[in-house]
Structure 1
Amino acid sequence: MPAVQNLQQKPARMSIVTFDQWCEAIDTSFLPLAYTRQTRGCFHSNVSYARFGACAVADMDVDAHRVAREPRHAAASDAGFFKIFWQISGQSRVAQRGNEASLEPGMWSIYDTAQPYSIEMADRCRVLVLLVPQERAFGWRQAAASLGGRALRGEGAARIALSALGAMLHDTCSGHLLDYQGQTVLQDSVVSLMETALQGADTRPPALGDGADAAVARHLGEARMHRLAEFIDAQLHDPELSAQRLAAVLNVSRRTLYNLFRESGQTPHAYILSRRLRQAAVRLSGSADAGRSITEIAFALGFADAAHFSRVFHERFGMSPSQWRQQNAGGARIALHH
């Protein structure tokens, strides 16, 4: 691994249209990785990148692909880094040290670049990635060893750090650079905030939406899980979507359906709600629904009461729908315009 001062120094906004360009950009801006994708042809990505102090941060909007830090990469390293990976929109799957988790909007994970890891990103995935030298984040070591590759909730200190990084990245790429003192203060503040977040991380088994698809799939089977998810997504507009209808799709009794979900720690109702909230987060973040009110989006996704929607959205993502839209739609605060 190259020393951090060998990484790209200047802030940049990049629009990438080939997979080879993407691989080169990440190898240059961050660290060497192995890259794979299931499709050929154009690869679209928009990236905003900046350095502050000894750290690097990037906002990435990318097509589906997989990256892996392999043993050969770690063996060639002469320095260690921690990476924080925030999921802004879309979905990703992270794995390290035997842990594996699905990330949905509002979640984050940490991994140690001195150890092998992998990240699979779904199509039109948007993430913010922070790279910190381990020597600057000594207080992260113990938590990173146990939490690497796990899904963590983007609340409290982690959300504050994300907002600060998004604002800095926007200003820096717009030509308003922090001076040395400002970069040092930001670096120390972000490291302290994330140390607090790691120390207070909820390590209980993830609730629905925090890797819920994987948990349910282990008990329903991948084929039935895919069929179930497709059906639910097509019927999200229907407030009457129920467990009975899901049972009919799977050709099982209602009792059998509940038993299958219970074995995974979920309920059919909670799973439907998770799919609705996930889609709400995507629509509030995108331009296609920018002209629609929050209430209209809620009703279109089967929520019969706007107040109920706001309450469960806040419980799931740690902020109100209007705050989510402000911080994600168009890239305000948390992320950039792409």
Structure 2
Amino acid sequence: MPAVPSPPQTASRRNGLTFEQWREAIDTSFLPLAYSRQASGRFHCSFSYARFGACAVADLEVDAHRVAREPRHAAASDAGFFKIFWQLSGHSRVAQRNNAAELAAGMWSIYDTAQPYSIDMGERSRVLVLLVPQAHAFGWRQAAANLGGQALPGEGAARIAVSALGALLHDTCAGHLLDHHGQAVLQDSVVSLMETALQGVRAAQPAACDMDGVAGVAGSAVARRLGEARMRRLAEFVDAQLHDPELCAQRLATVLNVSRRTLYNLFREAGLTPHAYILSRRLRQAARRLSGEPGRTITEIAFALGFADAAHFSRVFHERFGMSPSQWRQRHAGAHIVLPH
């Protein structure tokens, strides 16, 4: 079946809006919200906006005010979305479920639009907002449930994503639009980058040091579709090939005797990608070897598990476990790390 093409890309840039015009623009471009402000008089606002694929992004600079997604808004919506909110300058206060946090420049947060949330923006705040349909971001679900309304660090994959979106806004507002293929590639890239960022944040939290982690959760979900025997065979194959830098999704599809598209669909339903599954298996083995094989250097362990260089290994290990390989080795030296099957 041929893919349904993305709608034509759209972009706009507006300045000097009144508060009422601002409300109308956001309700039309993004989602209906409740708005309020304490100050009277002139309201300063400017924004750049673009749609690409099924997503929307905007760069906003506004005076102090409050927006809230209330239960009535969620109840009236036909589809769920995830919203990511980057603080570029100034400050904001965000809240969802039982979480509330102050965002300073460089930080970000995530929301599930099916749940109430609120944002109090400070004077002359500049933010970048990304709206993604939940159907296009399966891997964000659990992270959004746990992290909604928290202040998250704007580094690594999250910083790369916001840079790409800023470049998109600059180019599209200047009239340089992406074709359907370009929109799809950018959407997939941004979703994958933010999935990586969310997984890194979750892994850095204390509870995430449980070695079950992403691989175990994803394995259980995929196994419900594949069957336990086939999932064990897949895990055994991956673990036996971790030394090979060329281990890839196509080889996993061959082992399971399914198409590459079917493989991605199976993992997408589990909230993961084949690449992320392989990386997770590599990192869990690395953690075990760092604690149990003191005679091997960190670089030797990295190369033995298929990492191209030690710097990349250290970066992704820190994103997964919240500490460097050397810190992990010091903290867990001689410990028996239990790994799930």
Q: Output the TM-score relative to the length of structure 1.
A: 0.57
State the match for 1:164 in structure 2.
164
* 8 Å Cα contact 2:9/2:179 also seen in 1: no
Letter in 2 for 1:73: H
State the match for 1:28 in structure 2.
28
State the match for 1:194 in structure 2.
194
1:77 corresponds to 2:42: no
State the alpha-carbon separation in 1 of the partners of residues 58 and 205 from structure 2. Answer: 27
State the alpha-carbon separation in 2 of the partners of residues 156 and 129 from structure 1. Answer: 18
1:92 corresponds to 2:89: no
Q: Secondary structure at the match of 2:197?
A: helix
State the match for 1:128 in structure 2.
128
State the alpha-carbon separation in 1 of the partners of residues 138 and 200 from structure 2. Answer: 16
State the alpha-carbon separation in 2 of the partners of residues 80 and 164 from structure 1. Answer: 24
* 8 Å Cα contact 2:33/2:73 also seen in 1: yes
State the match for 1:64 in structure 2.
64
Deviation by residue 1:124-175 (Cα, 9 ceiling, x = unmatched) = 0000000000000011000000000000000100000000000011000000
Letter in 1 for 2:118: S
Deviation by residue 1:63-93 (Cα, 9 ceiling, x = unmatched) = 0000000000011111000000000000000
State the alpha-carbon separation in 2 of the partners of residues 58 and 17 from structure 1. Answer: 15
**Runs ≥4 residues deviating over 4 A:** none
1:100-249 equivalent positions in 2, closer than 5 A: 100-201=100-201, 202-203=204-205
Q: Secondary structure at the match of 1:41?
A: coil
> By how many angstroms is 1:16 displaced?
3.2
State the alpha-carbon separation in 2 of the partners of residues 127 and 158 from structure 1. Answer: 14
State the alpha-carbon separation in 1 of the partners of residues 85 and 126 from structure 2. Answer: 10
Instruction: Provide the aligned C-alpha RMSD in A.
Output: 1.9
* 8 Å Cα contact 1:45/1:62 also seen in 2: yes
| Count of equivalent residues | 200
* 8 Å Cα contact 2:92/2:125 also seen in 1: yes
Letter in 1 for 2:45: S
* 8 Å Cα contact 1:109/1:152 also seen in 2: yes
Q: Secondary structure at the match of 1:47?
A: strand
Letter in 2 for 1:13: R
* 8 Å Cα contact 1:18/1:41 also seen in 2: no
1:43 corresponds to 2:26: no
Deviation by residue 1:175-226 (Cα, 9 ceiling, x = unmatched) = 000111000000000000000000001446xxxxxxxxxxxxxxxxxxxxxx
> By how many angstroms is 1:20 displaced?
0.4
Distance 1:8 1:19, change over 3 A: farther
> By how many angstroms is 1:9 displaced?
6.6
> By how many angstroms is 1:17 displaced?
3.2
Q: Secondary structure at the match of 1:27?
A: helix
Q: Tell me, which stretches of 5 or more residues in structure 1 are unaligned?
A: 1-6, 205-338
Q: Secondary structure at the match of 1:38?
A: coil
Letter in 1 for 2:62: V
State the alpha-carbon separation in 2 of the partners of residues 62 and 10 from structure 1. Answer: 22
State the alpha-carbon separation in 1 of the partners of residues 8 and 178 from structure 2. Answer: 17
> By how many angstroms is 1:10 displaced?
2.8
State the alpha-carbon separation in 2 of the partners of residues 133 and 16 from structure 1. Answer: 30
> By how many angstroms is 1:18 displaced?
1.2
State the alpha-carbon separation in 2 of the partners of residues 199 and 46 from structure 1. Answer: 33
State the identity %.
77
Letter in 2 for 1:133: P
State the match for 1:11 in structure 2.
11
Letter in 2 for 1:104: A
* 8 Å Cα contact 2:110/2:148 also seen in 1: yes
Deviation by residue 1:7-40 (Cα, 9 ceiling, x = unmatched) = 9973100113311011001000100000000011
Distance 1:174 1:57, change over 3 A: same
